[in-house]
Amino acid sequence: MLKAALAALAVVLGAFFITAARPAVADSGAGTRVRLESRMRSGITESKLSYEYRNNVRKFQAEVSRAQPGQKFDVRHNGVLLGSLTANELGVASVEVKAGGDDPNQGDVPFMLAGDAVSIGGMTGTLVRR
């Protein structure tokens, strides 16, 4: 009886650890999909960096709002420069870059993971699942 109870407990604990160790990836039926995001703020200036991986295509989008017109922002992932943004006359800037599909006019997008450090200008954050 004790052996049976311990065996059942081992199965339950094993299922728990397997479930808890799953990566930040969802299978949508059409392939693997990862969606990450970081929202940042400095004073009234707000920014967001979004990342998506789906069907072997990597895409990131960086946005800034409520900035000073003409203000420049470097976009970084784990300290590596991905590009720069300049706020327009309304204080808004954005860029979207894709990599890994069939389009020959694509940029370079690194693989990103939950917990990675990102920054837009002096605003820093961490990517989390969305």
pLDDT single digits (tens) 21-36: 334 444 344 568 999 9
SS3 content of the chain, % helix, strand, coil (to 5): 15, 50, 40
In a domain, 5, yes or no: no
18 lies in some domain: no
Mean local confidence (pLDDT), 93-100: 90
pLDDT at 77 over 50: yes
Query: Which one, of 10, 37, 16, 2, lies nearest residue 118 by Cα?
Result: 37
Residue 56 within any structural domain of the chain: yes
Asked whether residue 29 is assigned to any structural domain, the reply reads: yes
**Residue 110 resides in a domain:** yes
Answer yes or no: is pLDDT of 92 > 90: yes
Residue 45 pLDDT: 97
With a cut of 50, say whether residue 5 has pLDDT above it: no
84: domain CATH number is 2.60.40.200
Q: 49-60, pLDDT tens digit by residue?
A: 999 999 889 999
Q: Is the residue at 114 inside a domain? A: yes
With a CB cutoff of 8 Å and minimum separation 6, the contacts of 64 are: 45, 46, 47, 73, 85, 87, 91, 92, 93, 94, 120, 121
Tell me how many domains the chain contains.
Answer: 1
Range in 31-40, 56-65, 93-102 with the lowest mean pLDDT = 93-102
12 domain residue, yes or no? no
In which domain, by residue range, is 62 found? 25-129
